Structure 1
Amino acid sequence: MAMSAVWNYFNLKEEKSPTAECKICTANVSRGGSAVARFNTTNLIRHLEKHHAEQYEEFLQATAAKKSKTPRVRQQTLMESIQSREKLPPCSNKAKLITEKLVQFIVLDDQPLSVTENVGFRRLLEHLEPRYTLPSRHYITEKVIPQMYNEVCDVLSKLVENVSAISLTTDIWSSEVSPMSMLSLTAQWIDSDFSLKKAILHAREFRGSHTGDFIMAAIEEMLREWKINKNKVHVILRDNAKNMKKAMDQLGVASLGCFAHTLQLIVHEGLLSQRSVSDALANGRKIVGHFKHSPLAYARLEDIQVELNMHPKRLQQDVRTRWNSTLYMIESLIAHKRTLSAYTAEYDLPATLTANQWGLLEKASTVLAPFEEMTRAVSASSASLADVIPVVCVLKRVLSRENEDDQGIKTMKSTLLDAVNRRFNDVESEPLYSVATLLDPRYKDRYFTNADTLRLGKEALLAEVGKMEEVLKTTSETSASDSETADKTPRMEALGTSTSSLGSIFNEILEENQVLPVPKITTSAQIQVETYLSEANIPRSDDPLLYWKVNQPRLPSLAATAVKFICAPCTSVESERLFSTASNVINERRNRLTSETAEKIIFLKKNLPLMVM
């Protein structure tokens, strides 16, 4: 217990002394009796009040300050006690907030709606807030999720409404646990602050035949629901199937095949082109499959790894539809080479790899590594159409170089190069690619391999910038002060270097293609384009959007054109990622979800992070 402030003015000769000595006048003042149980400070306080007025005022102030710092514990009234036991009304702010957080937990963490019926979960909520009444599964499905869906739709609609150019991806997915197919539509754009934005517009059930006509009609309806005019759609990324291409052609919008899918086809051609490599891969699959399906065999392999002071690691099985998984399988086999050799000395395997096959796998791994690196690069969330031409240029150069280590895989390497040349023969002549590449300050005109396609690309860029100037003139008047302060705008410095293993190839091509003399220019569009192209490229590790944000006052029409072209991804990976989410939403635990509820949950799962802080 804290001591009274009165003891600042009194001393005790002994702890149980019946009197206290005044520090001011040395008088002995009774403590209230001779027994310890009767001791108090009343007489001491009266002594100060009667004989020492100044010290008494100090005592009163110290006591008041002490009381103000001490929280007062007030006993609940009977009414307050009754109310604390009453349930929160469902319409109360606190109950609504808890329900909202509950639904966010279900949506963001891929929880089944039945979690609201789980005993342990109900007990947890009862403990955290006894007054809260957990809503029924039906109420969450029919009321809360649709309300939250509509709120997010309203926010997203306002964002999309103010966008001048938007790019989309689409794909079709079929569930393995329920008779449901879905058609996706994802959006990507650059906002006024030069930030890349992504959102999911639809993951709608797609019933019936997957013909081009039906796909076209479904996407047209989706665009209509979001009030997205076709003129605002810059490009739609799709897979390479004929029905998808036909649908986009009928829709009347520009579309491109998924760049990553094309890389997949190229690598498959290379892997199948050389019989010796195919045979080595087949044996590798048998070895990995043996350990995959035999816990005893894997336990023995793990014991050998421990004996060799190696960290226990599993072999990786490849998936035929994903070529990079084949590369990962090869790398895991090479990493276990010593372990597998020790294993075969004591136990049988369904297949073995000869010394020559081990060498082929190691060489194949080296050849495929650039494809894997480029696949990861173009599948990144920040990748755009501008990356395609430089990536193709680098792949051609890597594959065309002959090395002494190519012995045994020359056919495979040659097939890969032929496939790259054949499948990407027209990328430089496609304006969507060429203009995007020219507008990326990391690449500009340095990665074009054909002078004619470069000339056509620049002409297309000039035409786009000219059109953009007309648009800007109709929307806002250019301030006279812009031209006066343009030269003072800070430019990005070329700091840092790329961490890519192929960075030296990019730099090599960059150095070979030096800036050409600036031709005679007459129009504002030409001035902006030639000024921009004559300047040094920024490092590949820098952000092109940040460049355009900084240089927008200096190159306004060019920056606006860049916003339109660089907003487009080069793959349909966003739709594939969406369907990874769909497979988590529609799974064995939630295979009875209606298509409407499933779409709302997928929509919220992907878009809530844009709204929830």
Structure 2
Amino acid sequence: MKHPLPTASTSSNASTSEQRTGVSTGQRQTSIIDFSKGPITDKRRQQITDLLINFVVKDVRPLSALSGEGFRDIMKFFEPGYKIPSHATLWSNIMLQYNTVKARIANEMKDKSVSLTTDLWTSCTMDPHITITAHYITDTWELKSRVLRTTIMPERHTAVNIAQRLKETIEEWNFVVFCTIHDNASSMNLAMELCEQFPHHLGCTGHTIQLAIKAGLHLPEIAKTTDAARRVVSHFRHSSVAVCALKKRQEQLGVKVHKLQNDCATRWNSTFTMLERLYEQRLPVQAVLADETVTKVGIRRSLAMRECQWELVAQLIPVLRPLAKATTIMCGENHVGLSFIYPVLLNMANNTLSANESDLAAIRSFKNTVRKELITRFKLLSRLLAESIPITACMLDPRFKHLKFLPDDVREEAQARLTQLVREDGEVEQPGATGK
């Protein structure tokens, strides 16, 4: 036998290599690319392009997200034969899909009773925008909400300019508006009057409730306490040392490990959220502020809340909670909230905001102020209530149709008005007309 040693050595090395790698030296491990047989088909190429567009649209991503080196590496690994289209091609495909969806929605809204909500807002880059959303019920009784327009509005937000944007949207989509919901700004109210296409318009209930709450929070004693709470929260939001110490104290005291939340003047219910979270974390917060190794004496003194302020916070939270819940319910898009506006408001005015003997003086003042604001802004004690759209909606809702929450005279007037509206619409049969 020739060359016995090299041959044996080679065999031994091969065996050892196989044991170490688990791969036979006589075979190549199959890669994912090997499963791709032949060039990519046009059908699959379009499917991938559609999925990329879906990724951009659904996740609200910029087209530049598809240009990143890492993203392209992923695409090359999974589909080597696919080349990501140019931005111009992708944008063209997006607009094709947009026009298809737009036509479908326009057809869905055709001959429907459509209501609009409008919102003027500012982005994090301080660009002013207007958003217009349509709400309607389909033939299969599904409640739909569709954003028809979100565009930058650099011009002044005057009534004339707002009305022009609304008219443009209606003309573009070609539908009939029943009612428009808007905030309580004077320019917005005037804009509604300038739009002859709008037979009805209502101020946003959630926004109006927040204005009433804000009036109560501006009372001197309440404002002083919320300012003190805000300073404490701000300290923990800007000090990494305090945050770490707070987490440690939370674990030691068996309190939920939650971060403190600051409030924002333009974010609804945020003051309630701030106070509720701060009171929940009272013990660990006080422990951190009392720890001289964490908090300097001067800072501790400036942040210390008095016992009477903690007591005020404790009594204010259960008053704010139902108001916050009412705001959230009124602004939901997954249900029709028009019919329970006045049942909820009157219940809050007559129960939630009724003063108790155990209430602190500041809490009684807060309740009285918010109650008066709600009564004035929603005309809760006016006979004109009988003519309002929400009251008409109440009578068409089996839960509230008897209007037991209204005085007798207002109830009778509302019922008479509904009967008149139905007769004018020609949908009421005269008594005995059917012989039944």
TM-score with structure 1 setting the length: 0.60
Shift of 1:299: 0.9
1:130 and 2:84 correspond: no
Letter in 1 for 2:399: R
Post-superposition, which runs of at least 4 consecutive aligned residues in structure 1 deviate over 4 A?
Answer: none
Alignment of 1:352-501 (within 5 A): 352-381=304-333, 382-399=335-352, 401-408=354-361, 409-425=363-379, 428-469=385-426
Matched residues in 2 for 1:209 and 1:407: separation?
45
- Which residue of 50, 54, 62 corresponds with 1:104? 54
Amino acid at match of 1:390: P
1:287 to 226, 232, 238: 232
2: CA distance between counterparts of 1:152 and 1:219? 21
Aligned length: 387
Partner Cα distance (1:345, 1:157) in 2: 62
For residue 447 of structure 1, report the CA deviation from its aligned partner.
4.2
* 1:190-232 per-position Cα deviation (integer Å, ceiling 9, x unaligned): 122222122111123334222111221221121111111xxx3
1:177 alignment partner, one of 125, 137, 141: 125
The equivalent of 1:155 in structure 2 is 104
Which whole-Å deviations, capped at 9, do the CAs of 1:130-150 have from their partners, x for residues lacking one? 222211122212x11111111
Query: Which secondary structure state, in structure 2, belongs to the residue aligned with residue 429 of structure 1?
Result: helix
Task: Provide the C-alpha distance between the structure 2 equivalents of 1:202 and 1:339, rounded to a whole number of angstroms.
Answer: 47
- CA-CA distance at 1:309 after TM superposition: 2.7
Question: The residue matched to 1:404 in structure 2 has which SS?
Answer: coil
Distance in 2 between the 1:86 and 1:102 partners? Answer: 20
Which whole-Å deviations, capped at 9, do the CAs of 1:276-305 have from their partners, x for residues lacking one?
A: 222111111111101100101111111111
Q: Residue 161 of structure 1 aligns to which amino acid in structure 2?
A: K
Asked if the contact 2:353/2:370 (under 8 Å) is kept, the reply is: no
Shift of 1:171: 1.8
Contact 1:168–1:237 under 8 Å retained in 2: yes
Residue identity in the other structure for 1:262: T
Q: Which residue in 1 is equivalent to 2:65?
A: 115
**Is this contact kept in 2: 1:268–1:323, CA < 8 A?**
no
Residues 354 and 367 in structure 2, CA contact (< 8 A), matched pair in contact too: no
Counterpart AA for 1:269: A
Shift of 1:391: 1.1
SS in 1 for 2:385: coil
TM superposition shift of 1:418: 1.2
CA distance, structure 2, for counterparts of residue 168 and residue 323 of structure 1:
21
| Matched residue, 2:13 | none
Identity of aligned residues (%): 28
Give the direction of change, closer, same or farther, for the CA distance of 1:373–1:524 in structure 2 (3 Å limit): farther
CA distance in 2, matches of 1:121, 1:96: 18
Match of 1:236 in 2: 180
Report whether the alignment pairs 1:320 with 2:272. no
Root-mean-square deviation (Å): 2.4
Change in 2 beyond 3 A, CA 1:400/1:98: closer
How far has the Cα of 1:439 moved from its partner?
0.8
Gaps of 5+ in 1: 1-80, 474-520, 528-613
User: SS at the partner of 2:386?
Assistant: coil
Q: How far apart in 1 are the matches of 2:336 and 2:348?
A: 17
Q: Which amino acid aligns with 2:230?
A: R
In 2, Cα distance between the equivalents of 1:188 and 1:238?
13
Higher relative contact order (CA 8 A, sep 6+): 1
> For residues 367-417 of structure 1, what are the alpha-carbon distances to aligned partners after superposition, in whole Å with 9 as ceiling and x for unaligned?
111101211211222142112111111111124533232123211111111
5 Å-filtered alignment, 1:513-524, equals 522=431
Partners in 1 of 2:222 and 2:433 — Cα distance? 56
Q: In the TM superposition, what whole-angstrom CA distance separates every residue of 1:38-85 from its partner, at most 9, and x where no partner exists?
A: xxxxxxxxxxxxxxxxxxxxxxxxxxxxxxxxxxxxxxxxxxx9x944
Q: Name the residue aligned to 1:308.
A: 253
CA deviations over 1:507-530 (Å, ceiling 9, x no partner): xxxxxxxxxxxxxx83879x9xxx
Which amino acid letter does the alignment assign opposite residue 100 of structure 2? E
Superposition deviation, residue 87 in structure 1: 4.7
TM-score (norm: length of structure 2):
0.83
Mapped partners of 1:102, 1:203: distance in 2:
23
**Residue 187 (str. 1) matches residue 134 (str. 2):** yes
